[in-house]
């Protein structure tokens, strides 16, 4: 057994089902399950559905990180129905079984746990009605991990196939059926791929209409670029979440600090019917941004809005809960400390057509270069020398591991399209001569230049960056040196998605004008007040017309000062689709007309094409 596999198993959750199943049959899981329909494996009960689908599974189901031969399956069982097994008790045993392949008998405590109903049965079928199953197994429900189930099926399924899955408990609670598609073989010819990407869905700020529209799309998978949850739930006495979207944390504070707080966020977000539909219909590939832990966070686990001291225990807690809830193929080992407990940067190949490379821009990054104050330091800043220091790092302030890995993946990829899943804005964003947001790559311009130069020198082609974080739709042309050589040829295209629900710049202006506050502003409210004051003077009349005038002025000023930004819209919410073929990448941005009601429609915002071998952005609609 190689080291990676062993560490992976140590994570308790993912992988355990296979171990159990392998041990149970004394053979491979596939063999056992293939026999399952005709020949019931000895000792093992087959759980049969009794209750209506979904009852007992308050967060429904999810799948993620597809491979050519598998996926991660996820669910959570209502602890009032079943208390699962304790991970601490079971881990040493599981480790022992898998490392000793000569064992053909199942540890009797596992059979006992299955018979006790503390393990769940999962079924995989190519039929939506499960009239036949291609795979069946048992996985522990982990009481120490909030009663979640997480199973890795890598190695057990066929490439480029749509599968349905469900979970059944011993008493007959059956989950809703989920669906996912496996990837093609990593070297296979693939004529096209199509995926959606999103970021920033503040539950309290609106309904997840965007996710419902995504659920209806025909896709290979969905990429989530972070801010899946917001640690801040606000204080309803002065903030204004929708009345039926308020969240009360167990610690009764306005921000998540404890493990119960963070779990409550995920319980609530995943209780949303549109969120559930998206997860049921598509596998997700997720990375985090800051709000899965705390606003504008940086190494070493600093939450600068709360304290400039490191908060390793809080960060470790946030890591654990992300690990519990995200169907991601990552390991979690709390004994390694917050920094090394979890590594989320990873890549996946879509045949020879594309490689998706995802980075972590929060856990290892440097502090803000010019200070942690809001106006003039983190935001709306004149800048400082540190910005241009390549040691001021987004990808790794204490180690260059991630940066080397990233550059190596992009430069050596044999796929036609290199798609970078990047959290924060890559190209510069200046307004009135000031840096708008030094929490983005502008605060790391030295490293940005180093990366861009290296990719240019290596002759990397077909490099597309997908970005979230700023609650704004943008299409940008990336350069090596924006200030001194803006006419140089581009190194790639950045395509930023607006938010699912989080406040955009227009809503931030509304807050400045009308005095409303939300939990998910792309910039602090005082910064926006300052911006409005600078180019509009003191606001004396409060009206929607003033809001429109301000956002229009802001948009055109930003376009003029940042000519590499070709399209910019921060007045709406929505999602993007990237469709890749050998000849071109087609980017489609969709906007929803409201997030304040569930009754919403969507419209095309823009559609653009990037021809293969070029760095031009052709707007074909919108």
Binding site residues, Fe ion, CB under 5 A: 200, 227, 502
Cα distances (angstroms) measured from residue 348 to each of 322, 358, 371, 409: 20, 9, 36, 10
- The position carrying tokens 């202006």 is 509
Shorter beta-carbon distance to Fe ion: residue 439 or 510: 439
Tell me the closest approach of the beta carbon of residue 520 to Fe ion, in angstroms. Answer: 6
Nearer to Fe ion, 227 or 510 (CB): 227
Q: Which residue has the tokens 């052709």?
A: 618
**CA distances, 319 to each of 72, 79, 303, 323, 478 (Å):** 18, 22, 14, 6, 32
Nearer to Fe ion, 178 or 304 (CB): 304
Rounded least distance, CB 358 to Fe ion, Å: 17
Nearer to Fe ion, 154 or 227 (CB): 227
Q: How far is the CB of 471 from Fe ion (least distance, A)?
A: 6
Cis upstream peptide for 300 (omega within 30°):
yes
Would you tell me how many other CB atoms lie within 10 Å of the CB of residue 406?
A: 23
CB of 226 to Fe ion, least distance (A): 7
Residue for token pair 């180093």: 450
Considering the complex, what minimum distance in angstroms separates the CB of residue 341 from Fe ion? 23
Q: What is the closest distance, in whole angstroms, from the C-beta atom of residue 571 to Fe ion in the complex?
A: 16
Least separation in angstroms between residue 224's CB and Fe ion is: 12
Nearer CB in complex with Fe ion: 198/451: 198
Report whether 20 contacts 110 (CB < 8 A): yes
Q: DSSP readout, 345-356?
A: -EEEEETTTEEE
Q: Which residue is it, tokens 């985090």?
A: 288
Q: Which is nearer to Fe ion, 413 or 502 (CB)?
A: 502
Residues 128 and 132: their CA atoms lie apart, in Å, by 10
Go through the chain and tell me how many residues it has: 622
Nearest CB to Fe ion, comparing residues 280 and 439: 439
Residue 200 or 509: the one with the smaller Cβ distance to Fe ion is 200
d(CA 491, CA 488): 9
Q: What are the angstrom distances between the C-alpha of 320 and each of 68, 258, 479? A: 27, 11, 37
Give the nearer residue to Fe ion in terms of CB position, either 425 or 615.
425
Contact 394, 444 (CB under 8 A): yes
- CA 527, distance to chain mean position in Å, is 27
Alpha-carbon dihedral of residues 342, 110, 60, 63, nearest 10 degrees?
Answer: 50
Beta strands 354-358 and 307-310, pairing class: unpaired
Question: Which residue from 45, 270, 43 is spatially nearest to 148, judged by alpha carbons?
Answer: 270
Q: Which is nearer to Fe ion, 68 or 421 (CB)?
A: 421
Neighbours of 219 (CB within 10 A): 20
Tokens 């390991």 locate to 331
């Amino acid at each position: 057994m190689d080291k990676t596999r062993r560490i992976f198993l140590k994570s308790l959750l993912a992988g355990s089902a296979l171990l159990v199943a392998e041990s149970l049959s004394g053979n491979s899981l596939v063999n056992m399950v293939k026999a399952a329909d005709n020949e019931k494996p000895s000792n093992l009960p087959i759980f049969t559905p009794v209750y209506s689908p979904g009852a007992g599974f308050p967060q429904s189901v999810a799948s993620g990180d597809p491979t050519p031969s598998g996926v991660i399956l996820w669910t959570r069982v209502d602890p009032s129905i079943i208390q699962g097994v304790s991970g601490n008790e079971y881990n040493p045993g599981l480790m022992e079984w898998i490392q000793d392949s000569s064992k053909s008998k199942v540890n009797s405590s596992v059979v006992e746990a299955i018979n006790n109903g503390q393990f769940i049965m999962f079924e995989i079928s190519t039929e939506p009605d499960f009239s036949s199953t291609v795979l069946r197994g048992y996985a522990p429900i982990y009481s120490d991990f909030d009663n979640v189930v997480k199973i890795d099926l890598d190695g057990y399924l066929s490439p480029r196939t749509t599968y349905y899955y469900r979970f059944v408990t011993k008493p007959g609670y059956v989950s809703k059926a989920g669906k996912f598609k496996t990837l093609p073989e990593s070297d296979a010819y693939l004529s096209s791929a199509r995926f959606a990407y999103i970021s920033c869905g503040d539950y309290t700020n609106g309904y997840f209409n965007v996710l419902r529209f995504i659920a209806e799309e025909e896709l290979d998978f969905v990429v989530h670029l972070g801010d899946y949850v917001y640690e801040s739930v606000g204080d309803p006495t002065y903030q204004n979440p929708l009345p039926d979207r308020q969240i009360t944390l167990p610690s009764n504070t306005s921000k998540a600090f404890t493990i119960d707080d963070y779990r409550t966020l995920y319980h609530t977000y995943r209780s949303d019917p549109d969120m559930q539909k998206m997860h049921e219909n598509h596998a997700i590939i997720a990375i985090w941004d800051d709000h899965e832990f705390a606003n504008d966070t940086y190494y070493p686990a600093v939450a600068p809005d709360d304290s400039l001291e490191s908060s390793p225990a809080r960060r470790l807690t946030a890591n654990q809960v992300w690990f519990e809830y995200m169907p991601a193929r990552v390991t979690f080992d709390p004994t390694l400390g917050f920094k090394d407990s979890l590594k989320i940067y990873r890549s996946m190949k879509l045949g020879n057509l594309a490689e998706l490379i995802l980075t972590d821009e929060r856990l290892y990054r440097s502090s803000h270069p010019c200070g942690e104050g809001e106006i003039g330091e983190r935001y709306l800043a004149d800048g400082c020398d540190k910005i241009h220091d390549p040691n001021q790092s987004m990808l790794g302030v204490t180690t260059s591991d991630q940066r080397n890995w990233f550059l190596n993946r992009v430069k050596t990829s044999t796929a036609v399209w290199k798609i970078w899943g990047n959290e924060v804005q890559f190209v510069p964003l200046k307004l009135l001569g000031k840096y708008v947001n030094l929490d983005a790559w502008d605060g790391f311009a030295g490293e940005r230049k180093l990366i861009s130069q290296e990719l240019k020198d290596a002759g990397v082609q077909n490099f597309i960056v997908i970005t979230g974080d700023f609650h704004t739709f943008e299409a940008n042309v990336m350069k090596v040196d924006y200030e001194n050589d803006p006419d140089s040829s581009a190194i790639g295209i950045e395509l930023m998605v607006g938010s699912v629900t989080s406040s955009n710049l227009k809503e931030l202006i509304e807050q400045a004008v009308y005095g409303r506050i939300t939990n998910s502003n792309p910039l602090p409210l005082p910064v926006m007040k300052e911006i409005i004051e600078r180019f509009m003077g003191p606001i004396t009349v409060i009206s929607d017309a003033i809001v429109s005038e301000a956002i229009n002025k802001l948009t055109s000023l930003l376009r003029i000062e940042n000519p590499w930004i070709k399209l910019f819209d921060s007045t709406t919410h929505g999602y993007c689709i990237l469709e890749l073929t050998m000849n071109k990448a087609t980017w489609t941005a969709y906007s929803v007309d409201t997030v304040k009601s569930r009754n919403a429609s969507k419209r095309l915002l823009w559609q653009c094409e990037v021809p293969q071998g070029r760095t031009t952005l052709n707007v074909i609609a919108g």
